[in-house]
Structures are given as structure tokens and as C-alpha cells.
Amino acid sequence: MKTELIAKLRNKTACIGIVGMGYVGLPLMLRFSDVGYRVIGIDIDAGKVERLNRGESYIEHITGTSIAAAKARGFQATCDFGAAKNADALIICVPTPLNRYREPDLSFVINTVEALAPHLHAGQIVSLESTTYPGTTEEELKPRIEARGLKVGRDVFLVFSPEREDPANPDFVTQTIPKVCGGQTPDCLEAGLALYGQVIDRVVPVSSTQAAEMTKLLENIHRAVNIGLVNEMKIIADRMGIDIHEVIRAAATKPFGFVPYYPGPGLGGHCIPIDPFYLTWKARAYGLHTRFIELAGEVNRSMPDWVVGKIADALNERGKAIKGSRMLVLGIAYKKNVDDMRESPAVMLMEILRAKGADIAYSDPHVPVFPKMREHRFDLKSVALTPETLAFSDCVVLATNHDAFDYGLVKAHARLIIDTRGVYLEPAPNVVKA
């Protein structure tokens, strides 16, 4: 089974099935298609499937032209999990959020595996890319596959290979980002290396699925902890009257032993605010308390409230309250130059300000209409960034520093700017650093 599968993967006669056509699955589909594989995309969102089959994209940095080209090469999207029976490789790229108690929610992964299971057959490889705690692949996927009478490592080959997408980053694309891969058995790993080795420049093997799962968590916990540190340093520096961004720029001139991280209004994206808590939850099963990780999470989660405090103070100095003030939020995506709204701290700021009675508007060229979100509801559209819009607002909150914004225009016409991203280097009467 393994020899035949690897041969099909290497000569590109294998059919690749990707489950989850989002920010991870869609670029991966394009890469497999680009090098000559036939690809099937499976997603439960009928709207996404319809758009893909029309050759359209719903992610800003992925062009409709690239989707149409993949379609011309044979790509098809479907909501039918039965299509999995036609695939030689199945790659799972579905969300792994936290529940309301900040515990892992594996429902998307488990529901996906259970939907795929009736259509699995000998000679397939299954890869999980969704970030999760160590042991998920072995404890959740392996038993569900073997319940169908298939032996992992003999009939079906199971690997974990965490996604490493950085949307809209021109310096790193799917092909050039090294890919970690761990197999449930040595034969599984060999099949996994054959799967990804055809489309990724460098595949990094590790000894087990657990090691691969932990690798992804370490990457994101490293960032979360260091962002938590610099956010705490920001608060201290602010109290001392020091510009933390000036300090970071100076520290970054050290050519060794220092990596610059930058403060902001909170953590955003699907990974960094969420992934650390997958490990804290799993560690409790081993009687361990992850104090360092949880402290960083506490600091990062407090940032929107801290920014709102700075807004309240700045308005108070001008004889105003948050209640009744017109707030214009600049940038509501979770990071600059993307349309990705997942876990955006800007939205948390909007929620808090709205609850305090502010009149909220936003401007974001990447998000023309506030999208439907599970936890946040705003019936808003992006407003044009004009001198009139800026002058009309009591407070402009610079939450996400998109390159498309004219920061000179903002500074010239806004009465009050709350700069959460360190855009304005020089002091100005209408700029408050937060």
C-alpha cells in the first residue's frame, strides 16, 4: 500500500482532497494544483463552494484568476464528503477554536473525521494541519479511522503537519515556508514526506505526531509570550512617560540576542490568541500549571480595556466622555494589509466602546462591509477616509495600521488620534500613544 501510494504522490497521479477552503486550505489547494495534481476541495459552506466553482475568490490576497486557473486544471469544490473516496490524500484544514470556557473545541476536527470515515479506504494518507494539543492525532483521529477496519500504518497513513500560513506576506508563500511533518508510524512519515515533498521546498521530519503538534504550539506560544511581555513594557513605559516604540527601535539595533516584538491593542488572528490555551488545557492532565503562558494571555487580553482607558482619559482632558462621542476606528482586520477578521482586537475595542455609549464607525479598505461573525454583530460599512469624516469624529482610534491609510491626512484633520500601533513617531498635540 505504502509503495503504491508514494509512487502516485511522486509522479503526481494522486488526487488530493483538501477539507476546509479557508486561509490555510485555499493556498494549499492552489499549490498542489500549480504543480500538476488534481485537487478536490471539500467545505461545508455552500456559498464558498459555489464561488470556487465559478472561479471566484473570497479571500482578498488570493486572486480569482488563480482560482479560475486551478479550475481549468481540474479543480472542483463540493460540500459532499463522499468525494473523499476519490482522493489518495486527504488534508484537513478546519478551525480549532476555544469554547466559552477557553478550552479546546475540537468539534470541527472530530465532525470532519467522522464525515470522512465512511469514505476512507486502503491506500490513502490523511494529514491533519489544524493546530491542536499534543496527542490529538493519535487520540482522536487514529481510533476513528481504525473503527472502519483500516489499520493506521498499514492500510491508511496518518500524519500531522501544522499549517504555517502568513496571509498577505509577500516574503513567504506556501511553497517556501518549511513544513514540519510527524507520522503516526515510520511508514506514515515516509508517506507524509512524499505528499508534501512535491509542493514544499523543505519538509522537516520529526519523530511523532505529538512532536509536530507541540512544534506548532511552541511557535505560537513564543510569539504570544513575547507580545505579552512587550505589551506589559508598554504600560510601564507609558506610566514613566517613555515612548515604547522608540525603545524597541533602539533595542533592535543590537545585532544579537534580541528579537523585536511590537505592542498593540491586543492579540488577533486564529493562532496566537488561541493556540497557547490548547497546551495549558492539555498540561492540566499531567498535573502542570502553565503560569508563564497564562500570564502572557492575561496581559494580552487586557489590552483592549487598557486602550479604552487611554481613550477615556484623552477625551476627558478635552471635556468629553466616551458616551455620546463619535468614534472612528481605523482598521478592523486583525493585522495590517489583510481582510482577515478572526479574533481582531479592533472588534473588541468596538464592542467595549459601544457598550460605553460611543457612536461607532470604522474605515477599512480591506473590509468594506462588517462581516457576519459568531460573537460580534455590527451593522456597519466602511466609511471613506476624508477630511470631513475625520473632522466629524471626536476620536480616531488607529487600531490596525494598513499601508493604504493616508496617515498625513489623518494627522492633519483628526481632532484626537489614539495611536495603538506606533505609527506616529513624533509627538503631536492631537496624538495619544496607546
Domain residue ranges in the chain: 2-207, 229-433
Contact 32, 68 (CB under 8 A): no
Largest CA distance in the chain: 75
> pLDDT value at position 8?
96
- Angstrom CA distances, 344 to 77, 224, 275, 315, stand at 29, 15, 15, 24
pLDDT of residue 102: 82
Mean pLDDT of the chain: 95
Which pTM value belongs to this model? Answer: 0.93
Quote the DSSP letter at residue 60.
Answer: T
How many Å apart are CA 299 and CA 46, to the nearest integer?
Answer: 39
> Which cell numbers hold the place of 420?
495603538
Kindly indicate the confidence band of residue 267, based on its pLDDT and cuts at 50, 70 and 90.
Answer: confident
Taking only the tens place, the pLDDT of each residue in 152-191 is: 999 999 999 999 988 778 888 999 999 999 999 999 999 9
Q: Are 414 and 387 in contact (CB under 8 A)?
A: no
Return the axis-axis angle of helices 186-197 and 2-10, rounded to nearest 10°.
Answer: 10
Give me the pLDDT at residue 208, please.
Answer: 98
Given a cut of 90, is residue 392 above it in pLDDT?
A: yes
CA gyration radius, the chain: 23
Are 343 and 273 in contact by the 8 Å Cβ rule? The answer is yes
Architecture of domain 229-433: 3-Layer(aba) Sandwich (3.40)
Phi/psi at 239 (5° precision):
-65, -30
Mean pLDDT, to the nearest integer, of 263-282? 88
Instruction: Indicate whether 317 pLDDT > 80.
Output: yes
The percentage of residues in the chain with a pLDDT greater than 90, rounded to a whole number, is 91
> Considering only CA atoms, which of 157, 234, 206 is closest in space to residue 419?
234
Q: Is the pLDDT of residue 27 over 80?
A: yes
What pLDDT score was predicted for residue 372?
85
Q: What percent of the chain has pLDDT over 70?
A: 100
Residues 6+ apart with CB under 8 A from 7: none
pLDDT at 165: 84
Residue 34, pLDDT > 90, answer yes
pLDDT score for 424:
97
Per-residue pLDDT, averaged over 196-217, amounts to 97
Strands of the sheet containing 124-128, edge to edge, are 76-78, 38-42, 15-19, 89-92, 124-128, 156-160, 179-183, 203-206
Judged against a pLDDT cut of 90, whether residue 76 lies above it is answered with yes
Band of residue 100 on the pLDDT scale cut at 50, 70, 90: confident
Domain 2-207 falls in which CATH fold?
A: Rossmann fold (3.40.50)
- HEC-encoded secondary structure of 224-240: HHHHHHHHHHHHHHHHC
Q: State the Cα–Cα distance between residues 40 and 84, nearest whole angstrom.
A: 8
201: nearest Cα among 178, 169, 181: 178
- Is 229-433 in the same CATH topology as 2-207? yes
pLDDT(307) > 80:
yes
Tell me what the mean pLDDT of segment 31-55 comes to: 97
As beta bridge partners, residue 180 has 204
- Residue 97 sits at φ, ψ, to 5 deg, of -80, -175
Nearest to 18 by CA among 77, 72, 74: 77
* Per annotation, catalytic residue among 93, 188, 271, 395: 271
Residue 375: the pLDDT is 77
Contact status, residue 50 vs residue 14, Cβ threshold 8 Å:
no
Tens of pLDDT, residue by residue over 236-259, are: 999 999 999 999 999 999 999 999
Q: How many residues does the chain have?
A: 434
Give pLDDT, residue 279.
93
What number is the average pLDDT over the span 51-62? 95
Looking at the predicted structure, is the pLDDT value of residue 376 above 90?
A: no
Active site residue 93: no
Q: Has residue 272 got a pLDDT over 90? A: no
- Can you tell me the distance from the alpha carbon of 399 to that of 374, in angstroms, rounded to the nearest whole number? 21
* pLDDT tens-place string over residues 137-155: 999 999 999 999 999 999 9
